Amino acid sequence: MINASQIGFRNLSKWITSKGAAIFAFALPLHFLASSYALVIWLLFTLFYLMFGGCSWKNFVFNARHSKSIFLIIFLYLLLISGLLISDNIAVGLNKIEVSIPFFVIPILFLINKGFINVSLIFNAFIGGLLLSIILSFINLSIKGTITLDGFYADFNLFHHSSYYSMLMNIAIAVFLFTLEKINFSNFYSFIFVVVFSVLIFLISSKAGVTILIFLFFIKFIQVVKSSSSLYPKFFFLSFLIFFSILLGINKRVQNMVVNFENIVKQDTPLYPTESTAIRWKIWEKSVKLISQSIVFGYGTGDANSELLKAYNEEPYLLRHIIKKRYNAHNTFFQLWIMLGIMGPLIIFSLLFFTLRSHHYSYFSVGVVVIFLINFFLESMLERQAGVMTFTFFICLLIACRDSPFFQRKLAY
């Protein structure tokens, strides 16, 4: 017989389980430890609720059948585990598997808790966490006394590397641009959020972040042109597109990228590459060479970076900066290909494709896929827990909750 305390704990477990995704979304822009603890809390109380008979196996099977592509993420995690079998650096491989635990946990939690998922609450919590992280970062920068334009790139964010942080802000911008009824001066607070996040992305000077931002406004402009008969919203978003394109052109890091790219095209690469564009070009050359030598199976979960280091040492004088920093492939698709063979990047491309298809190529799904694609081409985003959690959470959200009323609304202009 269940006593009052058990009923109370069951109700507490149900409440936390129902809010678990939102709690995790709020913690995601904060320190990776905050999101890790939030994930553990969500998992533990889901297990407690299961112990009290709160979730049925029948619902899990139903959700699994209707969200089959989610299992690709779990399959990717199993591939990482199997990649240990051909790895010499077992300790490195085990660390990679530990970092990638969300590949297994988050899809299972979505399949169990789909009935509890409130997409609107999740995005509100995520944007709330992002605003809190911005406020705390400004406070930290003020205490240091280093609020300068040059200081933003390296010093602004208290919790994440600039690439990961700009990715989170671009996801928030995509939410405002593609899922709310209107983003213009008649919706003042949404407009302010978009402007603040956009300006911060520019100041942080993540080249991927600024490039993605331009793409998002371009996609929004196409949506408005196709959907609206009024001239005002078309003019509004065209102005935004032109304005941020100009900002892109005057950003020093972007200008350096263009100059270095021109040098590379002209076969005039710097002798000692230290600028990020030149670094990536040399790293990608070595990555492609490694991939061509083991296209199907890769080199193992724990051996990707050691194989890259061997390739760098083929030109130690030219690549001494890259060797010293022990850089990874700086490309998620290359990194996975070196580790797992061709199946690694194929799984990621398949997940992005199924995300688009499950939303019938909606503008929001296109925006999210563009965010991940560009970031994945320029960084090994899944080498860090922040990247693993962000990618897994939002892809699972879009796939598992594609039939949510939040995603089914028709926007008016």
Q: Could you read off the pLDDT of 18-36 as tens digits, one per residue?
A: 888 999 999 999 988 899 9
Q: What are phi and psi of 225, to 5 degrees?
A: -60, -40
Assess if residue 258 is contained within a domain: yes
Residues 90, 168, single domain; the answer is: no
Contact status, residue 308 vs residue 286, Cβ threshold 8 Å = yes
What is the pLDDT confidence band of residue 314, given thresholds at 50, 70 and 90? confident
Residues 96, 179, single domain; the answer is: no
pLDDT of 186 strictly over 60: no
Q: What are phi and psi of 124, to 5 degrees?
A: -60, -45
Mean pLDDT of all residues in the chain? 83
Assess if residue 307 is contained within a domain: yes
Question: What average pLDDT does the segment 224-248 reach?
Answer: 71
> What ranges in 205-313 are assigned the alpha helix state H?
207-227, 231-250, 252-265, 276-293, 304-312
Place of tokens 């990618």: 391
pLDDT of 322 strictly over 80: yes
User: Of 241, 268, 295, which residue is a domain's last?
Assistant: 268
Assess if residue 75 is contained within a domain: yes
Residues 275, 261, single domain; the answer is: no
pLDDT of 202 strictly over 70: yes
Return the sign of the alpha-carbon dihedral for residues 86, 92, 93, 94. Answer: positive
Which of 250-254, 393-397, 400-404 has the least mean pLDDT? 250-254
Which of 110-119, 122-131, 154-163, 255-264 has the least mean pLDDT? 255-264
Q: What are phi and psi of 6, to 5 degrees?
A: -65, -40
**pLDDT for the residue 94:** 95
Contact status, residue 170 vs residue 122, Cβ threshold 8 Å = no
Better-predicted residue by pLDDT, 111 or 49: 111
pLDDT of 241 strictly over 90: no
Residues 259, 285, single domain; the answer is: no
**pLDDT for the residue 6:** 60
Residues 262, 280, single domain; the answer is: no
Number of domains present in the structure of the chain: 2
Assess if residue 191 is contained within a domain: yes
Question: What average pLDDT does the segment 298-326 reach?
Answer: 86
pLDDT of 258 strictly over 70: no
Amino acid at the residue 138: F
Residues 262, 164, single domain; the answer is: yes
Q: Could you read off the pLDDT of 143-175 as tens digits, one per residue?
A: 776 555 554 555 677 788 888 999 999 999 999
pLDDT of 263 strictly over 80: no
Better-predicted residue by pLDDT, 156 or 348: 348
What number of CA atoms fall less than 13 Å from residue 19's CA on the CB side?
A: 10
Residues 336, 350, single domain; the answer is: yes
pLDDT of 111 strictly over 60: yes
pLDDT of 388 strictly over 90: yes
Q: What percent of the chain has pLDDT over 70?
A: 81
Assess if residue 324 is contained within a domain: yes
Better-predicted residue by pLDDT, 287 or 3: 287
Residues 280, 164, single domain; the answer is: no
User: Of 244, 268, 292, which residue is a domain's last?
Assistant: 268
Assess if residue 24 is contained within a domain: no
pLDDT of 266 strictly over 90: no
Does the pTM exceed 0.85? Answer: yes
**pLDDT for the residue 376:** 96
Residues 98, 218, single domain; the answer is: no
User: Of 268, 288, 313, which residue is a domain's last?
Assistant: 268
What is the pLDDT confidence band of residue 253, given thresholds at 50, 70 and 90? low
Residues 291, 374, single domain; the answer is: yes
User: Where in the sequence is the domain holding 282, given as residue range(s)?
Assistant: 67-116+271-413
Residues 351, 275, single domain; the answer is: yes
Assess if residue 9 is contained within a domain: no
Contacts of 214 (CB under 8 A, 6+ apart): 241, 244, 245, 248
Burial of 390 (0-12, 13-18, 19+ CB in 10 A): buried
What is the pLDDT confidence band of residue 73, given thresholds at 50, 70 and 90? very high
**pLDDT for the residue 325:** 81
Q: Could you read off the pLDDT of 272-306 as tens digits, one per residue?
A: 555 666 778 888 989 999 999 999 999 999 999 99
pLDDT of 221 strictly over 90: no
Taking alpha carbons only, the member of 100, 71, 63 closest to residue 84 is 100
Question: In this structure, what DSSP letter does residue 411 have?
Answer: P
Place of tokens 């992280």: 133
Contacts of 412 (CB under 8 A, 6+ apart): 181, 182
Question: What average pLDDT does the segment 214-233 reach?
Answer: 79
**pLDDT for the residue 271:** 47
Question: In this structure, what DSSP letter does residue 302 have?
Answer: T
Cβ neighbours of 320 (radius 10 Å): 15
pLDDT of 240 strictly over 80: no
Question: What average pLDDT does the segment 303-323 reach?
Answer: 85
Cα distances from 88 to residues 100, 128, 329, 382, in angstroms, run 19, 44, 19, 21
Residues 291, 401, single domain; the answer is: yes
Assess if residue 168 is contained within a domain: yes
